[in-house]
Structure 1
């Protein structure tokens, strides 16, 4: 599939629109708009509003923590004015700071909702495992100077797959009503000096992935055995857990939806992992009630039954 698609500039788009947004989260408090700090959401809404000539409010597939990056954050909005595909993409990017960009935009049905129709979210945590500190990659990897055993980390992580109470891996300030989440898979692989933690689930608690990675690094250093994650999971007590890994290594790389929405397929990020060659939507989703529920659930019902997911 070609990465270069011609953008239509002759036919104004009407109705609900979905778009993919990429950003370097280093300078932001996270995705969600806050009064006291710069956010990705506020920057995107300001840029879209300038293109539309009226206020625009966007809804995202998930929230990210302060300093976390994204390569495929899916959002939707109902435009107050009709603009062409090219005008939305090029115009919005022209009004965005250099660390945020729109990747594509397409019309979707009025029953599409970026958050409530999402079947899964996927993240990649990138560790640069070498003696010297990073230079070119310093803003989007976490440096670990101690040798890491990626195979031991992968083995230790497999206990987390499935539906569990992740209380041992949630931040103290997590606002979710339930600590239960369903991890579809978690993999740890080494690619030269890069150790990548690749994880997908229905949703994630506040700091959940970073807390998991912190514990996995302890295993990778040989400070704990491969049963360490199982013991932490069973404790259901964050105060007994490990350190929280830095935000700079975490990337939100995919939001998955039913194929019927026909959202564009594209290589999973970040670009420094492009050699892996995996595209969005290639892996089958698990057969579980939540996914079937989300596929058929009306958006209005989902909004009333919101669980206050943190990611």
Structure 2
């Protein structure tokens, strides 16, 4: 479709894409052996357009079933496709559930993850049985009676700089568990409950574990102030269950 020039680092450009995707049919973002992933589809589309085999860098590695409206990726290319045309070129060959929203050139040293100042995630809970069949792929269908005010009080303990070891799934390779949560808002628009969380970074399953813990507090399993003790414990076993992936959305990455 576009003439491909041999890769030469001195001639390559770094392209930044902002993408959205429905993660329902994928085993997460990152390439995995014998698995259907977002990254694999994007890299396959680039090969189809230019013949280049690239390795995408992403702002975050969303898990299976997790969605994105503002995932950021970057890759190097020697292609002559103009920066603003990458959006249209890729959308012409990508699956219907992955769309490029913006495409631009950036500095060669730009890194979507390391240069991010903060990330914003939303988590959606759908709170009634009617309509569950339609929302089950895009929200956590949870019909438990929830004390929203108690959840909001508990959320207040999360804001700030803390060791979030209690909210990180086992098996994470990170050594530093300290993160700064800039805001955590809970909005009740029945039948939807929306959690908005912004932080300078997130641990593995951090948003989903925080959500699961807040839901258990909302059910009355323990009081709001227990969140403070859970944080101090630095023990995953003290926090609540991990909320399911389909309610989670990567909304925006700020630079």
Q: Above 0.5 in TM-score?
A: yes
1:36 shift after superposition: 3.1
Distance (Å, rounded) in 2 between the aligned partners of 1:28 and 1:143: 20
Gap runs ≥5 in structure 1: 1-13, 258-311
Structure with greater strand share of residues: 2
The aligned runs of 1:224-239 (5 Å cut-off) are: 224-239=222-237
Q: How many residues align?
A: 244
Which residue of structure 2 aligns with residue 79 of structure 1? 77
What per-residue deviation string (whole Å, max 9, x for no partner) do you get for residues 67-117 of structure 1? 111110011111121113464222212221221111110122223221111
Distance (Å, rounded) in 2 between the aligned partners of 1:173 and 1:36: 21
The aligned runs of 1:114-133 (5 Å cut-off) are: 114-133=112-131
Distance (Å, rounded) in 2 between the aligned partners of 1:99 and 1:239: 36
Which residue of structure 2 aligns with residue 202 of structure 1? 200
Gap runs ≥5 in structure 2: 1-11
Which residue of structure 2 aligns with residue 300 of structure 1? none
Which residue of structure 2 aligns with residue 102 of structure 1? 100
SS, match of residue 71 in structure 1: strand
Distance (Å, rounded) in 1 between the aligned partners of 2:48 and 2:54: 9
Which residue of structure 1 aligns with residue 18 of structure 2? 20
* 1:158 lines up with 2:153 in the alignment: no
The aligned runs of 1:175-190 (5 Å cut-off) are: 175-190=173-188
1:199 shift after superposition: 0.4
CA contact (8 A) 1:48 1:88 kept: no
Q: 1:42 aligns with which of 40, 43, 55?
A: 40
The aligned runs of 1:1-311 (5 Å cut-off) are: 15-85=13-83, 87-257=85-255
- Under a length normalisation based on structure 2, what TM-score does the superposition of the two structures give? 0.90
CA contact (8 A) 2:84 2:102 kept: no
1:245 shift after superposition: 0.4
1:33 shift after superposition: 1.0
SS, match of residue 103 in structure 1: strand
The Cα RMSD (Å) is 1.5
CA contact (8 A) 1:71 1:253 kept: yes
CA contact (8 A) 1:120 1:256 kept: yes
SS, match of residue 78 in structure 1: strand
Distance (Å, rounded) in 2 between the aligned partners of 1:83 and 1:151: 52
Distance (Å, rounded) in 2 between the aligned partners of 1:87 and 1:67: 29
1:126 shift after superposition: 0.3
SS, match of residue 251 in structure 1: strand
Distance (Å, rounded) in 2 between the aligned partners of 1:158 and 1:86: 42
SS, match of residue 136 in structure 1: helix
SS, match of residue 77 in structure 2: coil
SS, match of residue 72 in structure 2: strand
CA contact (8 A) 1:130 1:147 kept: no
